[in-house]
Amino acid sequence: MIEPRVDDFVDELQPIAAEVGINAAWSLSRIFGATRLYIPKKWRDGLDLNLIGADAARLLCERFGPERIDVPRVPFTAPALHRFAAFARKNGASNGRIARELGISHRTVSRLAAGTPVLTARARRVNDERQIDLIDWLNNRKVNR
């Protein structure tokens, strides 16, 4: 249905998509999304990582091990999600099918269709103007010393 490019992936997965492959990065997110994953230096049979495919797991260990990575639940950037959903909708896919394919909720697909921006929790926070910005306050303290 969709054919993602390396730059469609979030920053955490772009190096993996470029070095190991797009399917490996996508599988990592589908299988291990929202977890912290240890990538050992040496590949061996029986690793959980082999769920993405033994060849991809071996290459991932060679190129990125030893490392711990936080695997995002949704592997794609917001612009890529918008593009994928629009393409799928043009080709007659239902919101349910789009949600399953992209690994997002039905509600998010509806928001994408409505043109509503998909924001992270941090971006949705409203700043209270009465509250000081901690970073500014700390930087001003350093300057005034």
Write the pLDDT tens digit of every residue in 97-119: 999 999 999 999 998 888 877 66
Structural domain boundaries enclosing 48: 6-71
Shared domain for 87 and 122, answered yes or no, is yes
Shared domain for 57 and 84, answered yes or no, is no
Shared domain for 85 and 67, answered yes or no, is no
Shared domain for 94 and 50, answered yes or no, is no
pLDDT, position 16: 97
| Token duo for residue 65 | 């091990």
The single residue listed with the structure tokens 């959903």 is 85
- Could you say which of 53, 71, 89 is where a domain stops? 71
Question: Rounded mean pLDDT of the chain?
Answer: 90
Record the pTM: 0.79
Shared domain for 62 and 94, answered yes or no, is no
The model's pLDDT over 50-70, given as tens digits with 9 standing for 90+, comes to 999 999 999 999 999 999 999
Shared domain for 82 and 142, answered yes or no, is yes
Kindly tell me if the per-residue pLDDT of 72 is higher than 80: yes
Q: What is the band of 122 on the pLDDT scale with cuts at 50, 70, 90?
A: low
Kindly tell me if the per-residue pLDDT of 3 is higher than 70: yes
Is 1 a member of any domain? Answer: no
